[in-house]
Amino acid sequence: MLKHLLLGVTGSVAALKTPALYQALSGSFEVKVAATDPALYFFDRRELPEGVLHVNADEWPRRDQGTSYQREDPVLHIELRRWADVLLIAPLDANTLAKLACGLSDNLLTCVYRAWDPHKPVLLAPAMNTLMWEHPLTAQHWRQLIDQYRLPAAPAGASADELVAWINQHGRTLAVIGPISKKLACGDVGMGAMAEVNDLALTVQALLFPPSSHTSRA
């Protein structure tokens, strides 16, 4: 049986790769997508199969009809958390990284994260402008995630790149697929682009299905 993977998509330009990333992942996982409203600016939702995409408005059924909450209504962020075996947020923009670090839950995706089962894996693939990546607050937010997951304290003064490496060294259920250096959509050149789609999909598979997890047969 395929593992259930929830792909969280946030408002980075890298969200334009969402349909391609969905295709790359769907061979190994059953995939659903939870997108923030800003993420929807960057890709055509019609490129995803019907029923795959979930958006903020889906948390509030019939609200556009003037109908209030009914006791039997499902709570979507809880339903998605129950369904998913793993949460991958790709791209993870600077704004959502800050929300995860501070515990804010003001949209569907951040509510899923806040309600997430700590025994299930979370994979984060950040994407942002180079100066945003190098901003001291980015390192601070990684440190807050290190504290959230009760990992050993990282060395003082560690950069965002060093903190990502620290998380990947010590994390059990948290892993980060770090950004790459390239010419960004804004024209700047430097670190901050989301990992390439095929590399990201292969890394997700390697993290979730390491060779040591397979038993050999004589």
Q: Which residues are designated catalytic?
A: 186
Closest CA to 108 of 85, 72, 150, 74: 74
For residue 27, give the amino acid letter.
G
Q: Which amino acid is at 209?
A: F
The whole-angstrom separation of Cα 67 and Cα 198 is: 43
Widest Cα–Cα separation across the chain: 64
> Burial code of 40-63, b = ≥16 C-beta within 10 A, e = fewer?
bebbeeeebeeeebbbbeebeeee
Residue pair 15/9 in contact (Cβ under 8 Å)? The answer is yes
Angstrom distance (rounded) from CA 121 to CA 84: 10
Query: Which region, left, alpha or beta, applies to residue 157 given φ > 0 means left and ψ of -120 to 50 means alpha?
Result: left
